[in-house]
Structure 1
């Protein structure tokens, strides 16, 4: 178990004198407060890693070739990081608002260029210099020259994001990505589905991965979808020649959840683990925790709700059964009480993270009173296509329906 192994390493480190933690505590004096480190397995909430998103940064990451803050278009390469003010200001804006902002920035740029031209006598209004006002003319020219570098950089930024938005728009129209987002959002947020729209998307535009992601989102959004409706979804996938491995894999996880819930009322935890190992032929000793969080309910992500509850440190049925490790406490196994509230948290997703979770946790820190500091990390940052491909690979290895290594949510604070 990852948390147990990390707990052991930290205990060994704390035995060394001095160590990093004692140095940090002494330098920060009384202001130092231990953060809580929350470890989650990706199976904690699958849907957020699969769904389509409509915000600028997640959309770029999902649709275009964006890796390590570098974007590759067919004819251009761009850096997208904190040095780009437009990227920083509009990363989480819906795509239509981004397009409007690009137009507004372009209009403002043209207006500023016209003003420079007018000051230098090159405007459309034919403004001429006063030949007797040498000082005034020189001042106008100096202001114009000084503004050129800033105007040039603004034009480069506008051109960059115009090209990016144009590329995104091409994918949106070609693949009906707005329809996929709308349908998935209704299912995940509102718990409803337009069945005609769902089947139309599965049989219409979009890549095979788009259709598979929509179908898996449908599967995760409803605890027990009607059998006839589920058959229609599977038939639509087969009509579109979509590999069903990922779909069948998620179905098996849900089936495991149902079987475990039924068995847990009559068997002990150890018996359930034995049963699960026999069923899947592999060790899944942590199968008893986290599976219920497979389904996301409400607008706030399950991950964010959980982290918020853990940082509050109050008794809460949703997190009371989480494993707690404290490297400074005596070795008495796991358990104990949370010593919150916590001002700082480090959230790490084992199995791949995404920008949607990152944004949600940032918003959690910003809206909290007083504000909290939340750091988000993951083994890798995946877009929806990459994650669905990983699920498909797992499904293929398991004969289109194997079990998963479903680790429970774990806590470690130091």
Structure 2
């Protein structure tokens, strides 16, 4: 029997009348850097929210990166350790990480992400049978598995399949990701808990971002912000934006929107996108402005008029939640796994192909400023109601307690 089989059959040791026992959680991810994208943002949001709960003691372990961000977690009161990598950064072999986990006194391990050395370290982290939870972050999605397929097949054979099957519980960010996990043949318990976002009561940022000066003052800004990678659908976004401009010009309309692409990624891929921008004649109205972190990211959202995410594959994108928190109308694909945004009038649907993106842009531009603001207001309400980090932490703590036999199975957990 797997650890998951034993867990499913185990009764709860704790009644609701008993005081909650303290839980020590070791949360492990790959590179502790904002350039790890959504995985880092998830850890940066969830770990402090868990640490803030009574009876929770959370430590974060991760790999060194040339652009480190571990101080961001320490500043929020989360104990954080970073370990040097030997060999290729893409695998992240860090023997001191495994040693630290074995020396630690955690009750439970929570692994964030797949395909790297932290998965290996998780399976032998104490040398004794202890439970661990794995958040897959959309990495078992069909498109994600097909990307660099041979490397993932090798990793599956060597360690990842065993790692996943041994998890006491897997964590999906949405119902679609639960389906991907089941399609991968995994029969572990799976909890479905969405990502959250920081909700601020502070007034909107007044200082413009550094890039705002390159855009005419009266032009509207469509913002893409995130990792610049194939799964984000940026080539289709560029082609769709060019198509929208051509159609607007043919109708004797003057398109006044500029597209700002903010993010980080491999230099060769970014260069190919800039070349495509030139080929499409978009250089005057498309701007690659580089990574936007911290205060500069907040300024970028505040300076935008709408947000777009034309992704081909996602877990649950925090960038959309951040855009909603900034009261922005959003154009996104169904593959962003936030169908509630369409249902609640907080987003306009597009497919990851140029014609659909152009149509979505026409719809966005046809709205009055007041109508666009109302879409943004709906998004902000949705974030407050359903996507806060404290809410995610409350749900995750309930899963931890069930995994440890200290509480009943939460409603968020699916048993195959």
TM bucket (normalised to shorter chain) is under 0.3
More strand by share: 2
More helix by share: 1
| Higher RCO (Cα < 8 Å, 6 or more apart) | 1
TM-score when normalising by structure 2: 0.27
